[in-house]
Amino acid sequence: MDDGGSPGRLLIMGGAEDRCCGAGLLERFVELCGGDQARIVVITTASDMPDEVLAEYERVFRKLGVENLSELRLHGRGDADSDVSAALLTRATGVFFSGGDQSRLLTLVGSRISDIISERLERGRLVVAGTSAGATALGCTMILGGTGPEVSAAAVRTGPGLGLVPHALIDMHFGERGRLPRLLSAVALDPEHLGIGLDENTGVLIEGDGFEVIGSGVTTVVDAEEATVVLPAGEFDPITLFGVRLHLLPAGSLFDFDTRTPAIGPAHDRY
């Protein structure tokens, strides 16, 4: 296993990222992974069409100069604990979790490859990215589903995540699918966690104790740490939520996990 180094980086995307006109978010991921020297593993477990998903990302990553590209199509816990999977991830400079159905990623929680990814990320030897379903799986708690306009326990379903972002609950396709009630519900049920809602073609680059927003949309942060939360008797009844903090962060904005404060970053290119 690798020695030393500073913590690695995570690029978490809200889905529907640009895959043609400059491929901004994916181009940033490739650069972080080592450019044409990158060794990227695409984990397609969440997808119900893994062949199509792999072909699409293979096309984009090849265009961006990546020659060393592999797939992990994990069908169960045995695959996630196998020597073959472990060897592939030990050599990788980047891991990319595709979109799909995040519940399929529950089989990775607590697995051997999850431990390898966490350890190599902590040692600064790996860059991890996730998009859509692959994004929400990276938090300590994973949002599995939920719809509706109300803020209630019934408006969101959650399960254990991979724990790579211990500070947060992550939701995706956020503005496009009107998911603020779902994220508010999740945070109200677990107010120590920040809620991070990512618009499409938008991501957060997490380095150390904070993140920078990149892409073309907005990142929404919900902070209920000091809010008043009153949970009703019934799961379909509305949750009382006073004093919640809401931040809307476009590209270039910064956020500090320790102080839970946003900031306007220095002027730079959108991506």
pLDDT of residue 2: 39
Q: For all residues of the chain together, what is the average pLDDT?
A: 94
Question: Which residues have a catalytic role annotated?
Answer: 132, 173, 200
CATH number where 204 lies? 3.40.50.880
In a domain, 270, yes or no: no
Q: What does pTM read for this prediction?
A: 0.95
In a domain, 135, yes or no: yes
Q: How many domains, in total, are found in the chain? A: 1
Q: What pLDDT, in 10s, does the model give residues 24-61?
A: 999 999 999 999 999 999 999 999 999 999 999 999 99
The torsion angle over the Cα atoms of residues 229, 233, 238 and 239, rounded to 10 degrees, is 10
Q: What is the DSSP string of 11-48?
A: EEE-S---SSSS-HHHHHHHHHHTGGG-EEEEE-TT-S
In a domain, 65, yes or no: yes
pLDDT of residue 3: 41
Q: What pLDDT, in 10s, does the model give residues 62-100?
A: 999 999 999 999 999 999 999 999 999 999 999 999 999
First to last CA, the chain: 32
In a domain, 271, yes or no: no
Q: Are 96 and 134 in contact (CB under 8 A)?
A: yes
pLDDT of residue 8: 86
Q: How many CB atoms lie within 10 A of CB 234?
A: 10
In a domain, 2, yes or no: no
State which residues form the domain around 203.
9-264
Q: Which of 37, 11, 10, 36 is nearest to 26 (CA)?
A: 11
268, pLDDT greater than 70: no
How many DSSP H helices and E strands does the chain contain?
7, 17
In a domain, 241, yes or no: yes
In a domain, 126, yes or no: yes
Residues in the chain: 271
In a domain, 3, yes or no: no
